[in-house]
Structures are given as structure tokens and as C-alpha cells.
Amino acid sequence: MNTKKNIFKNSIIFILVFLITTVLFFASLSKILNDNTFDSVFGEYIPVSNNIDDSLLNWDKISELGGSGFVVDGNKVIRTYNKKYNKEYSYSKLLDFVTLGGENQSTFVFNTYDGNKFFLNYPSEKVSSTVNFNLNKGKSSLKTNVLLFLLLAISSYILIVYFIVRWLFYKINNELAEIYNKQEKEKDILFKGIAHDVKTPLSVILSYSRAMDENIIASEKREEYIKAIEKNAGILNERVDELLEFSSLNSFKVKKEKKDILELVRRYVGDNYSYFLDNKTFVKILFNEDDKFFIDVDEKLFQRVLQNLIQNSIDHNKNEVIITIDFKIDKLIFKDNGKGIDPKNIENIFVPLFTQDASRQGEKLRGMGLSNVKKICDLHKWQVYYKDGFVIAF
């Protein structure tokens, strides 16, 4: 389950990183292109709008090409930039500025936001009134630089995405390898468990039935042999039923209803009181009688969870068994007075037919109980684990 969560987490991380990288890349690219288009460069020397605020022009840039300017109100000069102009020009002189451009200069006229006229002058060898000036060389250079930048930026973006994808594949492959190895280990335990559990009773059945068939047993022991055969046949039948039950849970349709889970525990313990007494088992409920916790649950499946957890304690304890069931916030906690589970075996306790005591024999050898508990909890999206006792987290 943790491995699947890690795969999901890594996939989400990849998607987020990819989206963030893509957004940042195109946002940066858009900003750079907007800031470095020909119009923006051209606008640093000659405004691209007819209405301007002359005080906001980049006069340092304009002065690089020998540019200067002045603002007139009527025919009076009220502001000048980069050069001293006359305090007043006649209308004909202003017209000459526009039509003839004066001596060796190009003039551009704009409206100002305060309702006046702005005259921008450049040396004609630097800027012509037809805009055929040295900036064309800059324009060509700018296009080349932009193309080179685009090529570099796209290459960098592809490289970044490539490494992100490789990182994701590396992480997912590791997680999938972990899942595969775990599944193979569980299969190995399952098959060995089935072989071991089937071999023991099957050997008894075969040897006893052969002895009876060949009449090599005393007549007074015949009944004893028949009972032994029936008992071991029952064990085999029980194993088959457990395996079928485990398999059926994979396709089981859960029928959930809103139930008080604590009341279900109380009812199950009460209904099976006689069975517990017969097996020298005392089940003590620690949470209060009026405590309630409602949750969507399949009642029949939950009863199987209770049955398997309690039966697990009964099967693994030789003496009188004391089982406590407590509830904390959103967790049911099952504990008993047994020796507990060896820490090195905790990760395998929910594997089908796993047992931590290889020397155990007979009908209590091992079973599918805890595996079914895990399956049922998974169907309900609950967590089940062992920590000084079995814990079900809702």
C-alpha cells in the first residue's frame, strides 16, 4: 500500500514540477520577447504612439544617436531636451522642421498629454525621416539574437523535461520493482504454506487409508484410524474454504451502511460469549457503554474481521486468553495476554498462510484469518497494522 502511495505521490510531483516548469518557461519567454521586440527597441529611440509623455522618454538612449527635442505651446518653447533651442519659433519655421527637417536633421512630431506639440530631432546620418537608419542593422541583429535565444530556451526546456521524466521513470521503476519483489515473496510464502498444510493431513489420510486397505491394523484401532482420516480431511476442507474465501474478497461487492461500529463490537462479543467461555477466553471491552462512532461499514464483513482477530488470539495462546478491545479517537485496538509478534515478522503477518512459528503442527498450523482481515480493511479503505496489538484505523 505504501509503495502504491509512493508511485501516486511521485506522479503528482512530476505533474506539478512539469506544469510549474512549463508555466515559468513560457511566462519568461513571453516577457523576454515582449521586452526585446523591434517595436520595443524602436520605441526607445522614436515613440510608437502619437500621444506621449515627453518626460518619460529614454533620453539616455535618444542621446546615443544624437537625438534632442523640444515642446512648444503655440509657438513658444516650454521644454527642451539634450540641446538648447530658441525660446520661440514662428509657425513657418516649425512647419519647415516638419516638412524639410532643417539642416542635416530628421524631425518627428508628436502630441503631448498636456495638449502641446513635441518635436524630436535626430542627425539625418543617424536617423532619416523614413526610418531608414542604423537601427535596421540592430533590427537584423536583434532577430538573430532572438532566434538564438529561442533555440537555446527550447533546448533547455526539452532537456529539463527529459530529466524530469527520467527521474519519474527511475522512481516508478524502483517502486514497481519493490511491489514485484514483495508479491513474489508473498507468493512464495503462500505456496510453501499451502504445500505444507496440505502435505501433513494428506500424508495421514494416505497412510491410514492404505493401512486399512491392506488390513495391517488391529480391528480395535480401525475406528480410531477412521476418525483420524475424517479429522485430516476436515482440515483440508477448511484450508480450501479459507483459500476460496480469500479469493472471493477480490471481487466482493461491499454493501456499506452507516452503523455504530462500537455497538457492532459489543453485539458480537455478547453473541459469542458462550464460545469464548468454551475456549477459556475472556474478552473485555474497555470503551464506555455510551460511546458511539458511526461509520460506513459492511456489517457482515466487519463481523468476519472481529472473528478472525479474536480467533487469532485464541489460536496462538495455549493458556487462558484475555483479550481487550479499546477505542481511541478513530482506532479500534485489540490486545491479548500472549507473547506478541516477533518484530522481524510484523511485515509478513498479513501474508496468506504465514506463521511465525514453523514448529506448529495440526489443524491450528496456520490460516488465512489475518489475510482476510487485511483484505476486508482494504475494501473499506481502512488501515490495519500491528503495534503492541492489532489496530484498525478508520
Per-residue confidence (pLDDT) for residue 35, from 0 to 100: 56
Alpha carbon of 321 to those of 34, 263, 264, 310, 368: distances in Å? 79, 23, 22, 10, 21
Mean model confidence pLDDT for the chain: 80
Instruction: Answer with the residue of higher pLDDT: 127 or 135.
Output: 127
Distance CA 321, CA 339 (A): 11
Most confident of 5-14, 158-167, 314-323: 314-323
Helix (H, G, I), strand (E, B) or coil at 117: strand
Same domain, residue pair 288 and 359: yes
Distance CA 351, CA 31 (A): 58
| pLDDT category of residue 297 using cuts at 50, 70 and 90 | very high
Q: Can you tell me the mean pLDDT for 280-299?
A: 94
Same domain, residue pair 234 and 304: no
Helix (H, G, I), strand (E, B) or coil at 5: helix
Same domain, residue pair 302 and 363: yes
Strands 294-297 and 117-123 turn out to be unpaired
- In a domain, residue 230? The reply is yes
Per-residue confidence (pLDDT) for residue 2, from 0 to 100: 59
Per-residue confidence (pLDDT) for residue 42, from 0 to 100: 55
* pLDDT one-digit tens code per residue, 165-190: 788 788 888 888 887 887 787 677 66
Per-residue confidence (pLDDT) for residue 22, from 0 to 100: 74
Per-residue confidence (pLDDT) for residue 250, from 0 to 100: 67
* pLDDT one-digit tens code per residue, 221-265: 888 888 888 988 887 887 777 777 777 776 677 889 999 999 999
Given 97, 129, 161, which residue is the final one in a domain?
129
Q: Of the ranges 104-113, 141-150, 224-233, which one carries the lowest mean pLDDT score?
A: 141-150
Given 249, 275, 296, which residue is the final one in a domain?
249
- In a domain, residue 122? The reply is yes
Domain of residue 340 covers: 253-393
362 has pLDDT over 90: no
Q: Can you tell me the mean pLDDT for 280-303?
A: 94
Domains: count for the chain:
3
Same domain, residue pair 195 and 286: no
- In a domain, residue 349? The reply is yes
Instruction: Report the phi/psi class of residue 176: left, alpha or beta, with left for phi > 0 and alpha for psi in -120 to 50.
Output: alpha
Strand partners, 261: none
Distance CA 52, CA 111 (A): 6
How many CA atoms does the CB half-sphere of 107 hold within 13 Å? Answer: 19
* pLDDT one-digit tens code per residue, 55-85: 888 888 888 888 999 999 988 989 999 888 8
- In a domain, residue 157? The reply is no
* pLDDT one-digit tens code per residue, 25-48: 777 767 666 655 544 445 678 887
- In a domain, residue 322? The reply is yes
Same domain, residue pair 91 and 121: yes
Say which CATH number the domain at 379 has.
Answer: 3.30.565.10
Same domain, residue pair 238 and 299: no
| pLDDT category of residue 99 using cuts at 50, 70 and 90 | low
Q: Which helix (H) or strand (E) holds 77?
A: strand 76-81
pTM, entire model:
0.50
- In a domain, residue 164? The reply is no
- In a domain, residue 40? The reply is no
